[in-house]
Amino acid sequence: MKYRRLGRSGLKVSEVSLGSWLTYGASTENDKAIKTIETAYDLGINSFDTANVYAKGESEKVVGEALGKYRRDSYVLATKVFWPMGEGPNDRGLSRKHVFEQLHASLKRLKTDYVDIYYCHRYDPETPVDETLRTIDDLVRQGKILYAGVSEWTAQQIQEAIGTADKYLLDRIVVNQPNYSMLHRYIEDEVLPVSEQHGISQIVFSPLAQGLLTGKYSLSNRAPEGSRATDPKSNMHMNRLLTDEVLSKVEKLDGIAKELDISLSQLAIAWILRLPGIASTLVGATKPEQIIENAKGSDVTIPGDVLSQIEEILK
């Protein structure tokens, strides 16, 4: 496993990170989830991601249990705050109250004293950015958060966060977590340039486009048995991707992967890592075999002529 610096910070994260969205604490049995996390750790993956809202806290419990057996300084643990965790008016968003209370609830579920990265899971138009960043800065000073991040913020919102932090001498964000893959490239136009200008890395989620870039899906088999597409608990984001146009691209990309003697998922991960502004790709895995295969994407370098072929397919 290879490692990259996270933005302008000195923190190093594995090029492949393991996430828990839609899996741990929900659709995956706890024993299998823990074994998968252990396998990832053994492969050299040091970056593990979860969120308070994933399975309403159950995901954090599973991740905390699995990582509890390892030295705390040997891995990078991230969680998030924003989405509703209750029915009350203050049970959501990025207010000082919600951020403060949810961090402590997450620490309790994760059974740890601090998180390495704490993400603002979305931008909150109802809370001033300086209120949120000052709260995170306070928690950094208390040693409960080491690095601040945001997820799915626009370039303008990232710029606002940097300007606010600099104005009030608050801890700067060092990472953004966006959706990015061969099939979802919106960050290339504005988010990446602004982030690189300010020393912010990306740890991207959904690098395999909800599983479409695993080689399982094709025009002739849109919902393979046992795939996410057949699971109503985790397929809610897939319908817009299962089109003839997308699946045609996937089949062509799979052909390129076969020519390189690698899996389509490894090609997809290596393609993302071609960009220096991306520190890590955040993959999901429901069983050890999946993380073993995906981790190998860190070892793949795609030749320039093949990158050009891929670009033609993705147009």
The pLDDT confidence band at residue 233, using thresholds 50, 70 and 90, is low
Residues 267, 167: Cα–Cα separation, whole Å: 42
Choose, from 54, 147, 180, 217, the residue flagged as catalytic.
Answer: 54
Mean of the per-residue pLDDT values of the chain: 94
**What's the pLDDT tens digit per position in 287-309?**
999 999 999 999 999 999 999 99
Buried b (16+ CB within 10 A) or exposed e, 41-52: bebebbbbbbbb
Residues 121, 82: Cα–Cα separation, whole Å: 5
**What's the pLDDT tens digit per position in 168-212?**
999 999 999 999 999 999 999 999 999 999 999 999 999 999 899
* Contact present, 265 and 208 (Cβ < 8 Å): yes
- The answer on pLDDT for 246 being more than 90 is yes
Q: Active-site residue 54, yes or no?
A: yes
- pLDDT at site 216: 85
The pLDDT confidence band at residue 244, using thresholds 50, 70 and 90, is confident
* Contact present, 144 and 114 (Cβ < 8 Å): yes
